[in-house]
């Protein structure tokens, strides 16, 4: 392992991991404050949030296609290319934001057509429409975050997002409870708060990108926009494949039994924390490799170092989860039955196996994306999550009656398959990275 390169990757990955953790904290804040309005309000926001998340991850994945292009142009000092890519990124933002905002505005109609209870739809209408508007600045934030990551300035994003967490809680209090003479909006206030925080975050990031010298635009070629989508759409589909299996598993676990639902809820929270490390390593590996000549010795140093870090992170996460499985399950399910605690411990053990292999797969996926190899990664994600994990979930729970344990063994198997395919693809990648 190259120590200098390892330090560079970790310096880039650490704030990105912190950023993902802070975003989780903001989500937890919204959930806790919404719960005070009752179970129906909490359920309404949960349903609306899941619908929003599908479109958000789809759009952010597409925007992710800008990352390797921008990193390579910045490393080469190609100011003209950077200026065109800034314009192309803005065009991608507009192309995505306008139709998705319109679709999200119609969410109550879609949920009604899906048979969601009328009371839940009505309770969440104000919230989801505020979130539809929130998507517009948040996708612009996504473009700026992609640019700042590509020029290796993620610390700026972390500092701004850290400030956004207490601000989000304060705005929630103002609008949800009608403090300081404002109208009491209930759960709709959480959406209004998110919109304001999104706008302020966009303003702060815009200012910081200018301070970093990352400003100026030129007319973009049609090919620049097409290339962003060519790289980004497979990233979006791969992300949806992964998010979709977890959303589906959560709904399915709730239909099995209270014990299975409780055990699954513990594991899904721990998996979310583990994902932040995947995210940090994947983005850092992609950025570092995109910035070097694919034919140089440095390219091999980046690849080897990133993969070794992936193995180290995987082993660490696995050992930590095995060590904390019993105390965490007992603490989080202290009001549940001993059976639920036992199932939760077993489920965390299955999660630990997934975490052992997952970071290496994420690192390999990031390195492949740096070389614009995104369609194979998309296919591997679909195979791991929907060709392997989804059928195994059905077999393990219906045929063998394994409940939540079966769900997590199945998802761990899917993760291992996906990671293995990504690592094999990286090993077989031509030296010039010309890819798909």
- What confidence tier does 431 reach under pLDDT thresholds 50, 70, 90? low
> What secondary structure, in 3-state letters, does the chain show?
CCHHHHHHHHHHHHHHHHHHHHHHHHHHHHHHHHHCCCHHHHHHHHHHHHHHHHHHHHHHHHHCCHHHHHHHHHHHCCHHHHHHHHHHHHHHHHHHHHHHHHHHHCHHHHHHHCCCCHHHHHHHHHHHHHHHHHHHHHHHHHHHHHHHHHCCCHHHHHHHHHHHHHHHHHHHHHHHHCHHHCCCCCHHHHHHHHHHHHHHHHHHHHHHHHHCCCCCCCCCCHHHHHHHHHHHHHHHHHHHHHHHHHHHHHHHHHHHCHHHHHHHHHHHHHHHHHHHHHHHHHHHHHHHHHCCCCCCHHHHHHHHHHHHHHHHHHHHHHHHHHHHHHHHHHHHCCCCCHHHHHHHHHHHHHHHHHHHHHHHHHHHHHHHHHCCCCHHHHHHHHHHHHHHHHHHHHHHHHHCCCHHHHHHHHHHHHHHHHHHHHHHHHHCCCCCCCCC
Q: Give the model confidence (pLDDT) of 146-190 as tens digits.
A: 999 999 998 888 899 889 889 999 999 999 999 888 888 888 999
- What confidence tier does 432 reach under pLDDT thresholds 50, 70, 90? low
* Ramachandran region, residue 225 (left: φ > 0; alpha: ψ -120 to 50; beta: rest): alpha
Q: What is the mean pLDDT of the chain?
A: 91
pTM: 0.91
What average pLDDT does range 27-47 have in this prediction?
77
The b-or-e profile of 78-104 (16+ CB within 10 A means b, else e) is eeebbbbbbbbbeebbeebbeebbeeb
pLDDT at 151: 94
pLDDT for residue 283 is more than 70: yes
Percent of the chain with pLDDT over 70: 98
What average pLDDT does range 355-367 have in this prediction?
97
User: What's the full length of the chain, in residues?
Assistant: 436
pLDDT for residue 242 is more than 70: yes
Considering only CA atoms, which of 76, 411, 31, 82 is closest in space to residue 242? Answer: 411
pLDDT for residue 91 is more than 70: yes
Percent of the chain with pLDDT over 90: 66
Q: Which residues contact 38 (CB under 8 A, 6 or more apart)?
A: none
Considering only CA atoms, which of 361, 348, 264, 268 is closest in space to residue 313? Answer: 361
pLDDT at 189: 93
Contact 284, 13 (CB under 8 A): yes
Phi, psi of 140 (to 5 degrees): -65, -40
pLDDT for residue 435 is more than 60: no
pLDDT at 433: 55
Q: Give the model confidence (pLDDT) of 389-425 as tens digits.
A: 999 999 999 999 999 999 999 999 999 999 999 999 9
pLDDT for residue 270 is more than 80: yes
Q: Give the model confidence (pLDDT) of 317-354 as tens digits.
A: 999 999 999 999 998 888 778 888 999 999 999 999 99
- What confidence tier does 436 reach under pLDDT thresholds 50, 70, 90? low
């Amino acid at each position: 392992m190259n120590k200098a390169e390892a330090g560079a990757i970790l310096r880039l990955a650490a704030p990105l991991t912190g950023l993902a953790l802070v975003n989780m904290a903001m989500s937890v804040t919204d959930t806790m404050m919404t719960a005070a309005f009752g179970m129906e309000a909490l359920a309404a926001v949960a349903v609306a949030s899941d619908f929003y998340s599908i479109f958000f991850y789809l759009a952010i994945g597409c925007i992710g296609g800008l990352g390797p292009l921008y990193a390579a142009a910045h490393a080469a000092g190609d100011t003209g290319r950077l200026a065109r890519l800034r314009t192309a990124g803005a065009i991608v933002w507009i192309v995505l934001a306008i139709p998705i905002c319109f679709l999200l505005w119609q969410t109550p109609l879609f949920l009604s057509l899906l048979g969601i209870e009328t009371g839940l739809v009505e309770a969440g209408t104000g919230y989801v429409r505020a979130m539809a508007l929130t998507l517009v600045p948040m996708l612009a934030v996504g473009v700026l975050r992609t640019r700042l990551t590509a020029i290796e300035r993620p610390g700026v994003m972390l500092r701004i997002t850290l400030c956004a967490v207490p601000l989000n809680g304060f705005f929630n209090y103002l609008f949800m409870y009608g403090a300081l003479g404002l109208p009491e909006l209930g759960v709709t206030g959480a959406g209004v708060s998110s919109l304001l925080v999104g706008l302020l975050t966009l303003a702060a990031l815009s200012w910081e990108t200018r301070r970093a010298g990352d400003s100026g635009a030129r007319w973009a070629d049609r090919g620049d926009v097409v290339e962003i989508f060519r790289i980004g759409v497979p990233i979006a589909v791969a992300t949806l494949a992964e998010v979709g299996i977890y959303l589906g598993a959560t709904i399915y676990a709730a239909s099995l039994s209270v014990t299975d639902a409780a055990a699954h809820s513990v594991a899904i929270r721990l998996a979310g924390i583990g994902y932040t490390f995947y995210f940090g390593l994947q983005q850092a590996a992609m950025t570092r490799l995109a910035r070097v000549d694919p034919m140089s010795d440095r390219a091999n140093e980046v690849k080897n170092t990133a993969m070794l870090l992936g193995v180290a992170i995987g082993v660490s996460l696995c050992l930590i989860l095995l060590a904390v499985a019993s105390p965490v399950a007992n603490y989080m399910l202290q009001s549940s039955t001993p059976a639920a605690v036992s199932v939760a411990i077993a489920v965390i053990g299955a999660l630990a196996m997934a975490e052992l292999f997952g970071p290496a797969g994420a690192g390999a996926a990031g390195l492949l994306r740096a070389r614009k190899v995104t369609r194979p990664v998309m296919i591997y994600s679909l195979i791991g999550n929907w060709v392997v994990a989804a059928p195994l979930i059905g077999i393990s729970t219906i045929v063998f009656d394994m409940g939540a344990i079966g769900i997590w063994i199945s998802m761990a198997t899917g993760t291992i398959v996906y990671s293995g395919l990504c690592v094999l693809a990286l090993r077989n990648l031509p030296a010039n990275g010309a890819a798909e």
